[in-house]
């Protein structure tokens, strides 16, 4: 069935951005620097006091972290939801989110890494277009390209053309499909749950950090055996930071996806690398390995 998409309104100067902390505790200094980056763009920032809670390796109790997200979506003045950081903990909130309230109040949702669990679940349950992009603690020292790309995507429904500087074609072709994805290890751990969409007719974007080659193999093989890649239209690889030799990762992916014979383009500056451009998930996109381009359209 064709999913009815929910389009969030784009940000304008003077809009209020709400901050949540659904995963791990965060560094206050880096967080404050990230807040300053958003304020310098002309946005007002709303910070719930509860985001500073700490419970071991989590930023507070599960119900507290989920309540913050639910409240931010229910507040009419909040136009976007950003996150303090990733780490671990977002998937624990998935049964606690108020998907009806989220559906009735579509707004910008942006993050990456562990936040991929939220992007995935909210798309699956609500059809909300979300954004794979920076968080507050990563904005603290983000390069200009990352900041400019984020601002451009979140303030304008202009066509987006992504041409990686170091693009590598792992399998040639041209294809159109719905753009989805996120952090590989997070997506893998959602396999078999009600919160991960199947990727039929989709262009899948994946990235990761600190995973050995055999673990990348195991995760992709797990998802493959579970049928999540059946009917996949194309594959785009973001950064695989601190994951060993990138050539070995590319060879592994060529072997695992060989039977599908789909276009595979590597080298997107998305994920845990130095640059992390913002990519909208849920929109239609074209992947063309001849031009080494990923093109995304709002209409």
Give the residue numbers annotated as catalytic, written as ranges.
113, 207, 272
CA–centroid distance for 189 within its chain: 15
- In whole angstroms, what is the distance from residue 198 CA to residue 258 CA? 19
Residue 9 has a CB neighbour count (10 Å cut-off) of: 12
Parallel, antiparallel or unpaired: strands 78-83 and 234-241:
unpaired
CB of 154 closer than 8 Å to CB of 15? no
CA-wise closest residue to 59 among 68, 292, 299: 68
């Amino acid at each position: 069935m064709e999913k009815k998409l929910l389009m969030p309104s784009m940000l304008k100067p003077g809009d209020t951005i709400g901050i949540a902390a659904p995963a791990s505790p965060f560094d206050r200094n880096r967080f404050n620097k990230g807040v300053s980056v958003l304020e310098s763009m002309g946005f007002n920032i709303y910070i719930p006091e509860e985001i500073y809670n700490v419970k071991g390796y989590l930023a507070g109790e599960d119900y507290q972290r989920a309540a913050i997200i639910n409240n931010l979506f229910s507040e009419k003045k909040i136009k976007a939801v950003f996150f303090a950081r990733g780490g671990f903990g977002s998937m624990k909130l998935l049964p606690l989110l108020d998907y009806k309230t989220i559906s009735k109040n579509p707004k910008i949702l942006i993050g990456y890494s562990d936040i991929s669990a939220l992007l995935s679940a909210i798309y699956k349950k609500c059809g909300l277009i979300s954004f794979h992009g920076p968080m507050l603690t990563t904005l603290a020292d983000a390069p200009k390209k990352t900041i400019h790309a984020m601002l451009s995507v979140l303030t304008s429904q202009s066509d987006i053309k992504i041409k990686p500087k170091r693009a590598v074609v792992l399998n040639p072709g041209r294809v159109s499909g719905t753009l989805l994805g996120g952090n590989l290890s997070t997506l893998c751990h959602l396999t078999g749950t009600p919160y991960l969409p199947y990727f039929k007719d989709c262009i899948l974007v994946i990235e990761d950090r600190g995973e050995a080659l055999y673990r990348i193999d195991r995760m992709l093989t797990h998802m493959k055996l579970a049928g999540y890649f059946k009917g996949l239209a194309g594959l785009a690889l973001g950064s695989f930071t601190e994951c060993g030799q990138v050539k070995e990762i590319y060879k592994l992916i060529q072997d695992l996806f060989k039977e599908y014979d789909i276009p595979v383009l590597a080298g997107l500056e998305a994920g845990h690398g130095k640059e992390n451009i913002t990519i909208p998930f849920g929109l239609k996109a074209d992947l063309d390995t001849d031009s080494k381009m990923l093109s995304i359209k709002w209409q």
